[in-house]
Every structure is written in structure tokens, then in C-alpha cells.
Amino acid sequence: MSGLRLKLTLQARDGKARAGRVELPRGSFETPIFMPVGTLATVKAMTPGELEQLGARVVLANAYHLHLRPGEDVVQTCGGLARFMGWPGLILTDSGGYQVFSLRSLMRIDDDGVSFRSHLDGSLHTLSPEQVMAIQAALGSDIAMAFDHCPPSEAPRAEVEAATERTTRWAERCVETPRPDHQVRFGIVQGGLDLALRLEQMQTLARLPFEGYALGGLSVGETPEQMHRVLDQVVDVMPADRPRYLMGVGRPEDLVLAIGAGIDMFDCVMPTRNARNGQLFTEEGRVVISNARYRDDPRPPDPACGCSTCRTYSRAYLRHLYQSREILYSRLATLHNLHFTLELVRRTRRAIIDGGFSRFASRFLDKRDGAG
């Protein structure tokens, strides 16, 4: 840990699952942790104060999107990302590697970086590993992710191997780029579903001075079983003294299983996006609020939930708002899904500390068959 800016203290273990505390120059958080996604410096439908009340400690923003609009220079002039968005907690910025995957039809990728047309106005841009890290430095985030090349899950092995090797070369360039005194950097492990590539790159990245390591390129089209097979093999070789981050995964079942595999950190748009699309997380599965059965249902969305939405409103009312396309629906549903997800991860932490994680996980997963 010499020269690193992050300290991870492991407080409890239960099997592979672990509970800890991460200390950064500008704050700390407990693990396991779920980080709500605020791609454009806002978690959709939520104010920063509401997120803080829900217990969120870290939010994720996206360097690629903020570079295009409003521009990192604007954010820096306004005092950095936290001040710009009025967020009192910590911020992790994704480097844009996922956008290289999701918008690849607009991009040309080589070892120098990425050339692409903006999805906003078609203007031509280039991004190198050095530029991406400089953007994140200007944004002033607390955790900056290395620039990576994420291949499609169905890509042939030669393409996955080339993307993995490029990710390694880019990581080596990322750690050589200057950064603010408060900022820590995480490396990203690629390799698709090829365990040999994953393990080889993890060993290579572990020799670089990253304060944490993330698994990228999962939840991009593979089955849950394939993803968990990768986790079972790769997490064990991730450095035990650094945070382990699984990017873009937020299905409740996957969170519990990944925590059981030893993952510490998560982010995903699923709680907020599913809420806006009419899907509410509950202890026993999803409630699809548009279903006619909820037209006159007086029950709360989740009788086991203590959020303000469930304490105050019925399924019938939420269905009415959703069918009427009222803005209030998105706010109430998003608040509920984020509360459910954040509380689920907090419950796993308590179970690990109490030595009952396996029982907790089994009970939770057994109930997931019932969907509304």
C-alpha cells in the first residue's frame, strides 16, 4: 500500500463475503456498497439531499458524457463535480469505456485511443487514456476509472484478446498521467468470459499502482450463470487489500450472489431505469405496476419496505400515476427502488458482520421466484 491514497480495513468475513471500510482523502464509506448512477451529474428524479437521506455515500458520474456536455472546463470552473451538482458525498467517475462498447458503431478504436462522432451532434472527437484521465482530474472526482476497451460478450476470442491487451496498455498509460492530490484510481479487468484472459490480466494489473480493481465487461449480454462463473474464479485472485468493484450489475439476486463471491462495490442504472419503466423491486420479486391487477390494490408496493413511498402510497395510486405519465410517479418509484437496493446491500453487510450471510442469502434468493 506504500504510496497509495486509499486504505481498506476489513472488519468481518463470512465465507468469501466481506465487510469493510474504505478511507479516501476526502471521505470514507462502508462496504459492501451500492453506488447510484448519476451519469450526467444527476441521479434521475432524485435530489442530492434525497440520496443522502436514503443512505447513499458514493454516486457515479460519466466522464465521456460530461466531456461532451457541459464540458469538464465548465465543471472545473464551477468548483468541481461535487459542488457543481450539490452532492455532499463522494463521486466515482467512469472513464467512458462502456460507451466504447455501447456506441461502438460511432467509433474507431486503435492503440492510441478512440475516435468517435458525438451521439449528440455528430461532431468528431478523440479520446486517449491520457485525455480521459485528464478529464476526470478536471471533474475532480474522488475515484477515477482507467480507460478500458470492453468487447461484446459474443465477440470471437481473438477480438476479446486484442481488447484485453489494449486495456492493459491503456492502464499503463493511465497510471502515468497526473492527478489531483485527493483522487484515487481503479484499474479495470477485461477478458470477456475467457477465464484465462481474465486471470492473466488481473495478475498484470495487480503490479500497477491502482488503489482498487474493477471487473468490467460483465452484464453486457451474457447469462447470469456465465457471469457468476467468472466471479467464482477471478475474484479470488483480486488483491485482498484493495476494493473489488463489479461494474454495471444491479439485479438484486446478482448483488447478493456477487457479495457472496467477495465483491465490495457495485453500480447500476437498473434501480432507477426500471423504476421509470414501471418495475418496482420487492422482497419477493418485481411488481410490474402497469398490470391491471393493481388498478384497485390498496397495498403498498412492498409491505416489507420502510421507504416513504411504501409508507404513504398504494399500488393503485402508483399505477394511476404511471398510466397518467405523471412526473411524480418517477420520483416515488425511483425513491423506492433505490431504497430497496441500498437497504439490501446494507442488510448483507449486517449479515456478514453477524456471521449469518449464508442463511440470509439463501432465504433472500429462495423468495425471488414470485414476481408481481
Tell me the sheet residues that pair with 20: 10, 31
pLDDT tens digit sequence for 275-287? 999 999 999 999 9
**Counting every residue, how long is the chain?**
372
pLDDT at 97: 72
**Element of type H or E holding 62:** strand 58-62
276 touches 330 (CB < 8 A) = yes
Peptide bond into 36 cis (omega under 30): no
Res. 86 pLDDT band, cuts 50 70 90: very high
pLDDT at 103: 66
Q: Which residue has the higher pLDDT, 273 or 125?
A: 273
pLDDT tens digit sequence for 131-148? 999 999 999 999 999 999
DSSP annotation string for 322-336: HHTT-HHHHHHHHHH
pLDDT at 106: 72
pLDDT tens digit sequence for 175-223? 999 999 999 999 999 999 999 999 999 999 999 999 999 999 998 889 9
pLDDT at 368: 80
Residue 138, CA distances (Å) to 28, 132, 179, 274, 295 in order: 21, 10, 9, 32, 49
pLDDT at 174: 98
pLDDT at 105: 72
pLDDT at 2: 52
Res. 370 pLDDT band, cuts 50 70 90: very low
Percent of the chain's residues with pLDDT above 70? 97
Residue 297: Cβ within 10 Å count: 18
User: What is the overall mean pLDDT for the chain?
Assistant: 95
pLDDT at 5: 96
Residue 337 has pLDDT above 60, yes or no: yes
Q: What single-letter DSSP state applies at residue 37? A: B
Residue 38, Ramachandran bin (φ over 0: left; ψ between -120 and 50: alpha; else beta): beta
Instruction: Give catalytic status of residue 267 as yes or no.
Output: yes
* In the chain, domain spans: 7-268, 278-369
Task: Give mean pLDDT, residues 74-81.
Answer: 98
Catalytic-role residue among 14, 94, 264, 297: 94
Residue 32 has pLDDT above 80, yes or no: yes
Res. 151 pLDDT band, cuts 50 70 90: confident
Instruction: Give catalytic status of residue 94 as yes or no.
Output: yes
DSSP annotation string for 246-277: ETT---HHHHHHHHHTT--EEEESHHHHHHHT
Q: Which three cell numbers stand for residue 17?
A: 463475503
Catalytic-role residue among 142, 264, 267, 302: 267
**What is the distance between the alpha carbons of residues 229 and 266, in angstroms, rounded to a whole number?**
18
Task: Give mean pLDDT, residues 106-122.
Answer: 87
Task: Give mean pLDDT, residues 285-298.
Answer: 97
pLDDT tens digit sequence for 41-52? 999 999 999 999
Helix 357-366 × helix 327-354 angle, to 10°: 140
Q: Which three cell numbers stand for residue 304?
A: 416489507
DSSP annotation string for 77-145: HTT-HHHHHT--SEEEEE-SHHHHHHTGGGEEEETTEEEEE-TTT--EEEE-HHHHHHHHHHHT-SEEE
**What is the distance between the alpha carbons of residues 75 and 68, in angstroms, rounded to a whole number?**
12
pLDDT at 221: 86
Q: Which amino acid is at 51?
A: L
Task: Give mean pLDDT, residues 92-120.
Answer: 82
pLDDT at 102: 67
pLDDT at 1: 41
The correct answer on CATH 3.20.20.105 for the domain covering 7-268 is yes
80 touches 140 (CB < 8 A) = yes
Res. 372 pLDDT band, cuts 50 70 90: very low
pLDDT tens digit sequence for 247-260? 999 999 999 999 99
pLDDT at 185: 98
pLDDT at 23: 98
Tell me the sheet residues that pair with 266: 34, 246
Beta strands in 124-227 (DSSP E): 124-127, 143-145, 184-189, 212-215
Query: What letters, b where the CB count within 10 A reaches 16 and e where it falls short, cover 154-187?
Result: ebeeeebbbbbbbbbebbbbbbebebeeebbbbb
Helix 157-174 × helix 195-205 angle, to 10°: 10
Task: Give mean pLDDT, residues 7-23.
Answer: 98
Residue 309 has pLDDT above 90, yes or no: yes
**Element of type H or E holding 295:** none
Task: Give mean pLDDT, residues 340-344.
Answer: 98
